[in-house]
Amino acid sequence: MKEKLKNIIAKGIIALDESSNTMNRRLEAHDIELNLENRNLWRKIILTIPNLENYISGVILYDETLKFLYEEGIISSLIKKGVSIGIKVDKGIYEYENKKRITLGLDDLDSRMQEYHSLGCKFAKWRAVFSLDDIDDSNIELNIYHLAIYSIICLKYGVIPMVEPETLVLDGDHDINDSFEIMKGILQKLVQIFDLMNIPFENIILKINYVLPSKTRLNNYSNEDIITSTIMLFEETLPDTLSNIAFLSGGLDPETATNLYRLIKQKDSSYNFTYSYGRAVQEEGLSIWRNAKENRVIQNTIQNRLKKLLN
C-alpha cells in the first residue's frame, strides 16, 4: 500500500472525473457540441500528450471515460508509463431537507469497486460537499460516515481511497477565519469517525481545498496568508499518520491555483503534498479547443500548465 500510494502522489494528479452533465456544461460554455464523442475525445486529447508521465503521476477518470480509454488501449499505455489510474466512484450530490447535501453511491459500490480494480484502478475518489452558509453537525457526521464506509470498501480491494470533504469556501461573503473554523470542525469529525472505524490514516489521500475567504474577499489576503492558514489547519486537526494531502482547485483560476500549490510545496512540513486539479489544468486548453486547428496546440497549452505545477 505504501509504495502504491507513494507512486500516486509523486508528481501530480489530473482530475478528469467530471460527470456527463458537468462536462456538458463545460463544453457548452465554450460553444462545443454536447455529446459522448466530444466528452471522450477531450479526455483522449489530454491523456495522449507526449511524455505526459513526466508531468503527472495519476489521473482520476469517470466511468464512461475509463471504459472508453480502456478499449482504446490508452489505460494500459498509461499504466506501462507509470501513471496511476483513479476513478470517481460517488454518484453525485442529493439535496434533502433545508438544502442539506449527501453524496450517493454506496448501494452498489462493492461490485463496482471490484470491476474498477480489475480494469487497473489503483485509487478511487469520493466527494462530500459542505457549505458555510448552512452547515449542520448531523449532516457533517452523515457525510463523514459515508466517506468512511467508502474507504473501507476501497481498502478491501487494495484500492487507495481519496477522501474529499470539500467546503465551498469561495461562495458567500466571509473571511478566512470563518472558513478555517468550519473546515476545522469537519476535519475533527473525520478524524474521530475514521479512528472509530479503524481506518488506517496512512493508507488514504485527503483531497481538500485551501483555506480561503469567499471570492468577494480574496484580494484582502496574500497567498502567504492562505498557505499559513492551510498548514495551521492540518497541524491542529490531523494525526501524524495522515500526511498524504492533495489539493483541489475549487473554482480558482489556473494561475492562482498554480501559485498556491508551488508556495505550499516550498514550505518545510511533514506533509506529502500533491495537487488534484480539474478546471485549473483543463480550462486554458478547453478555451481554445473550438478554434484550434490541431490537437497539439491544445496539448502544448495544457503541458505548459503541468510544467508550471511541477517546477
Catalytic center residues: 164, 207
Rounded to the nearest angstrom, the gap between the alpha carbon of residue 54 and the centroid of all alpha carbons in its chain is: 20
Give the whole-angstrom CA distance, residue 257 versus residue 239: 26
Q: Are 276 and 247 in contact (CB under 8 A)?
A: yes
First to last CA, the chain: 27
In this structure, which amino acid lies at residue 65?
T
Say if residue 190 is exposed, middle or buried (CB neighbours under 10 Å; 0-12, 13-18, 19+). buried
Give the whole-angstrom CA distance, residue 126 versus residue 103: 8
Give the whole-angstrom CA distance, residue 104 versus residue 109: 10
Give the whole-angstrom CA distance, residue 8 versus residue 24: 28
What is the rounded radius of gyration, in angstroms, for the C-alpha atoms of the chain? 18
